[in-house]
Amino acid sequence: MTAPLTLVLAGIGADAHTVGLSLLRHTLTSCGYDVVFMGIQNDIDDVRAVARHADAVLVSVMDGHCLHYLRDFEPGAETSDGEDGPLWYIGGNLAIDDGAGLEDHLRARGFHRVFVKYVDLAVVVDVLHRDMCRRVPRARGAWAHRAARTARSLVSSAPAVGDDPLDGASLRAERAEVLAEWRTGREAADLADNAAFLTGRAGFPALHSRVDRRAEPPVAQVRVGVPSVPGQRAAFERMEHDGSRVLSYQVDSLTRARRFGDVAEALADGAAGLNGFPVINHGVTVLRELAAETALPLGTRHSMRDPRLLAEISFAGGVTSFEGGALSYNLPYHRDYPLERSVRDWQYVDRLVGRYARDHGVAIDREFFGPLTGTLVPPSIAIAVNVCEALLAAGQGARHLSLGFGEHGSRVQDLAAARVLRATAARALLGAGHHRVHLSLVFHQYMGAFPTDERLAGHLIAESALLARSMRPSRVIVKTPVEARRIPTLEENLAAQRLVGSLLAQPAPAPGPGEERAVAEESEVLQAEVDALLDSVLAAGGGSIARGVVLAVRDGLLDVPFAPSVFNRGEATSVRDCDGAIRWLNTGRLPLPDGVRAFHADMVAARRRRDGIVDRRNDHRMVAHDLLEVPRGDFETWPMDARRSRRPTRVTVG
């Protein structure tokens, strides 16, 4: 029997997108290849060490910094003289611009195939098949890569975290260490001075209060991060002139990976290549200058590993909203950020927010990232994560909490999820004794892969705004029609914001025939799921939410589909039902009631019958279809339950 060809599959750089890699891994394995999967956030030298005995190496770069990560790399250096090495492939989102000339450049450096922007999975697999069809397998040999660490080996049985507010003396000592991490940290040292600057700044909590009282329509918000200070200033000025009601900057991916030295080099070279605003390198003084030039609330959006220094500089610079949490900014974005460490780091952030409120009367909004991986995430897991992070934040003194909610693609399921999220969070916080907490809802337009067809993308954005109008969040995080192809320009962001804002300002439509009944039925099932998940977290922690979330993730009681973290078991998987709602395909170790499991099993069985799938070993074809359905534009309407396509699942590989 011929030995299988061996492929190495790895993501390099700071970006956290792993869904495409995970799907490619599954597909290539089903095609008979021996796949060595290294996950995301690898250094290219790590990949080269593993590649020594491979037949092909497929690397992905998703944040546009390809040339930065490959600056000292030449394919073939991992082989001995005279030895035929593996074929090297590279794809993803290799440049933050259109990548003109990049394919020729990388092919000249030795890459066999280069995919500068998004390419269909079937194309990649077909090209690989043709390249490999006459290749003789090389000996796999002894692999030099480090073994993947597991959650079980890195999480103690009794996590060293608790629910009590962090001790003042130890926090002061820790704060000195945090501020010393980069030279701009010292600018944030004086809390009283920071609070004096923050006092009188327009705040997100006040804005949310007006929206929640229906005094104003929900706010449409875009994310704009420009590397240079003049560029960010011009963007803010243009946004305010165009009628934006809030401002926020997106932090660049090198800062998110804590590569402050690399950022300094990029800034010295004119900031070319950075894909956001490097606020830590620019520092407090610069951020205050920008904040002082606007009367609008200012927020930080990031997904950073260890957010403590970023929070210090953000608040000192005038930011009144800070996104993220110990689970929602960890499991979907980082490969090996220990849960205990993450919980403790975010408790520092929330204690800092609490101190600004208690000692200085400054209200700072804490927003949680509900979309998680943004890919086939059943709403129950997103709701449970939101509620856990809200409890953790309130326990450290945060009083203004924004529950993040990502659109799933089914109107009925999304309306039910928003209802259950609001009610469960309010009940849980009151039950924990947090009586002075203000809750708001932030709605993210669809966070999965977008259609490459701008017409379809525009349709999705408009219909998503109509859905948001019915659930009435405080803010809507807006997408743009070019989402699938590149980072949008400021004008494209503002055009999308105007469109969504105009739709949000209209009265919400009356529910359709039977919609309220369908939403109530969906809410009942969803509430049972969420209650079971939250009960298991508290039980795992012996009543402690901080210990509970660490142990629940370790044991698979909380399990986020397609998350790259080694601490996430990844045993629970999901798929859409015949009406576009997301259902559990495999519940893994999730502690769901028997009736809920049976409900999901029935929904998935109906989908199998519709698509003619008899052998459950072919379930991955449904998952592949659902992952690619939107980016391919293979849907008839949005949301999907408005008029769900009845065509059979398209199978393109395997």
The catalytic residues are 256, 323
CA dihedral 554, 407, 490, 185 (to 10 degrees): -30
First to last CA, the chain: 20
Q: Cα(207)–Cα(540) distance, rounded to whole angstroms?
A: 37
CB-based burial of residue 148 (10 Å sphere; 0-12 exposed, 13-18 middle, 19+ buried)? exposed
Phi and psi at 92, nearest 5°, equal 120, -125
* Partners of 322 in the β-ladder: 300, 366
- What would the two tokens of residue 143 be? 């692999």
Q: What is the per-residue DSSP string for 445-482?
A: P--SPPPSSHHHHHHHHHHHHHHHHHH--SEEEPP-TT
87 SS3 class: strand
Q: Cα(639)–Cα(14) distance, rounded to whole angstroms?
A: 32
Q: What is residue 183's DSSP assignment?
A: G
220-253 burial by CB neighbour count: b if 16+ within 10 A, else e? Answer: bbbbbbbbbbeebbebbeebeeeebbbbbbbbbb
Strand 219-221 with 475-477, pairing: parallel
One-letter amino acid for residue 157 of the chain: S
Helices 454-471 & 490-504 angle (0-180, nearest 10): 40
Length of the chain in residues, anyone? 654
- Whether 499 contacts 480, CB under 8 Å: no
Question: Which H helix or E strand runs over 215?
Answer: none
Q: Where are the alpha helices (DSSP H) in 8-150?
A: 19-30, 44-50, 66-69, 102-108, 121-132
Return the closest-CA partner of residue 444 out of 408, 490, 498, 416.
408
The residues, any chain, with a CB within 8 Å of residue 73's CB and separated by 6 or more, are: 44, 45, 48
One-letter amino acid for residue 366 of the chain: R
Q: What is the 3-state secondary structure (H, E, C) of 330-356?
A: CCCCCCCCCHHHHHHHHHHHHHHHHHH
One-letter amino acid for residue 383 of the chain: I
Q: What is the per-residue DSSP string for 289-302?
A: HHHHT-SS-EEEE-
